[in-house]
Structure 1
């Protein structure tokens, strides 16, 4: 008598992380996934920790005053990653204790800055022209890849066993469009902090993270990196998850804004989330996920109802800047052009 063979269980939902940089149209991308009925969104959870935590900070000084009153103050990025890697969202109970939300069938979609995944000592080693970042006093020294596109060691705070529990993707934007907006946005946010100096500074410029995107992208794609060569442990075995697509999905914002339907469809197919037309339009109600001290950065995206092309030329964008900012922007575009060109599809 033939023996019936039970069908193999489908792979569980695997959370997706989109690694971006400031002003890469990532907030609009988040709005698309908030509108998707099959996903639930964690918006910049690691950035929140690095800015508000007192036990896991990448900064030389506390990023925001009164952060000790935030429930995020006693949280680490590993605490958050442990919850997200189980396809759940981090929440806080009435006593401010971190917990996972109720399980359901939706896929967790995370958007964060590539920089927010990095260890403080890695950022300090990469950003020797600023004292914005630092690692713990007992941290091992991080050795940046040399040359820059050599196989990098893991620059993140997360072990490979945790990183492999996510599907990773990247969103980038041409510096001629992103950096002018970064200068305005980060300057506005910095100005809200007590004792802030007026104008744009090297400390604020340190948050322009094209370099971190380049290194993280290389770490996840390089076939010789630890991410792709380390043995799989028994608990998080290879067969347990949908495999990381290679090359890692990468979107240029210009393509996204040119044809949102096409690009979102391709992206969803690559990361294992069914495309839904509801992703293309959304309402303009306030977004709970944007309730952070740097909410000013999301003002335009929060008031939008869909993806909007910026039809201005780079020259028109440059002319819209104050004279002192225009010179800063020109230098920053030149500085980060190479990082963008090396990653762009």
Structure 2
């Protein structure tokens, strides 16, 4: 919201293909063609989304993409394969360019070899994933799940047009993608601010040459709200940005104009952010609650039936959250 002079922000682009386009993986609007048409993204494919990102990058600024990882997966752990538009278009282009660079003839060129990526859990070929610098933002499901639920009931539901779907919690997909990136060298072995977690073989500079990935950068939302300045500075150091304390304040009219434009297609989900003017450190850390206290709170706000749904989703996703939290930055 503050760095629009140097950073081109792209907000949740892959949701266009995931929900609305001909390659859609979500069943949310499967029987609602009118909603898909009204979205303006009914023809969006994963390939066209990537082409849009390339156009944004052509403006000379560094591109920052905030997205939800489950947009790259078939829901409910169903088998996921490379998206057709990436296999036949973008992937083909990349394989052809790579082949030409290695002196291959036209007869040797072939479409992107999806069968060669059985370990890749996403719709995106590894060659494309190498173009990105992945970082991860996580939040305790005790807070993220009821926050999401609130957006799927009146009055916000009239704006978001979303019903509650526990499969959209997203922690399982995030963990699987994280592990794939880590195991294949696209992130790691170093962990931002965590030398204690660096693998022994990575401590020697000569050994680092075998790794091609960026260091692992995981931000926990609670840590961010406890120490926003220190966490944003550590994040900037990890991803190669120049830290500026003014990043924490977005009270200019142009900042809100940019944010309103970026958030417009997901109306209702970002109202709190749009009504804010910056990141302020909490005066006190969040007080711990017992599981019983959470249940009482959710029941009071949403009713017992909804509280039971929230509880079930939280329990299902806590192991993945706690796994990822092991790698969270510390300041």
What TM-score results when the alignment is normalised by the length of structure 1?
0.64
Partners of 2:160 and 2:81 in 1: how far apart? 20
Closer/same/farther in 2, CA of residues 59 and 135 from structure 1, 3 Å limit: farther
Partner of 1:174: 140
Partner of 1:305: 277
Shift of residue 340, structure 1, vs aligned partner: 0.5
Closer/same/farther in 2, CA of residues 83 and 165 from structure 1, 3 Å limit: farther
Q: Any residues of structure 2 matched to 1:1-345 within 5 Å, and which? A: 31=1, 34-35=2-3, 37-53=5-21, 55-60=22-27, 62=29, 65-84=34-53, 86=54, 88-89=55-56, 103-104=59-60, 106-118=61-73, 120=74, 123-126=75-78, 153-188=119-154, 201=164, 204-223=165-184, 244-246=213-215, 248-283=216-251, 285-286=256-257, 287-292=260-265, 294-307=266-279, 309=282, 311=286, 314=289, 315=293, 317-318=297-298, 319-344=300-325, 345=328
Closer/same/farther in 2, CA of residues 323 and 307 from structure 1, 3 Å limit: farther
Q: Structure 1: which 5+ residue stretches go unaligned?
A: 1-30, 90-100, 128-132, 138-150, 229-241
Closer/same/farther in 2, CA of residues 136 and 38 from structure 1, 3 Å limit: closer
Closer/same/farther in 2, CA of residues 191 and 324 from structure 1, 3 Å limit: farther
Closer/same/farther in 2, CA of residues 61 and 262 from structure 1, 3 Å limit: closer
Q: Structure 2: which 5+ residue stretches go unaligned?
A: 85-116, 190-210
Per-residue Cα deviation, 1:4-39 (whole angstroms, up to 9, x for no partner): xxxxxxxxxxxxxxxxxxxxxxxxxxx4xx445321
Q: Contact (CA 8 Å) 1:214, 1:343: kept in 2 or not?
A: yes
- Count residues with an aligned counterpart: 256
Name which structure has the greater RCO, CA cutoff 8 Å, separation 6+.
1
Which stretches of structure 1, 4 residues or longer, exceed 6 Å deviation after superposition? 133-137, 224-228
Q: Contact (CA 8 Å) 1:153, 1:226: kept in 2 or not?
A: no
CA RMSD of aligned residues (A): 3.5
Q: Per residue, is there more helix in 1 or in 2?
A: 2
What TM-score results when the alignment is normalised by the length of structure 2?
0.67
Partners of 2:324 and 2:42 in 1: how far apart? 34
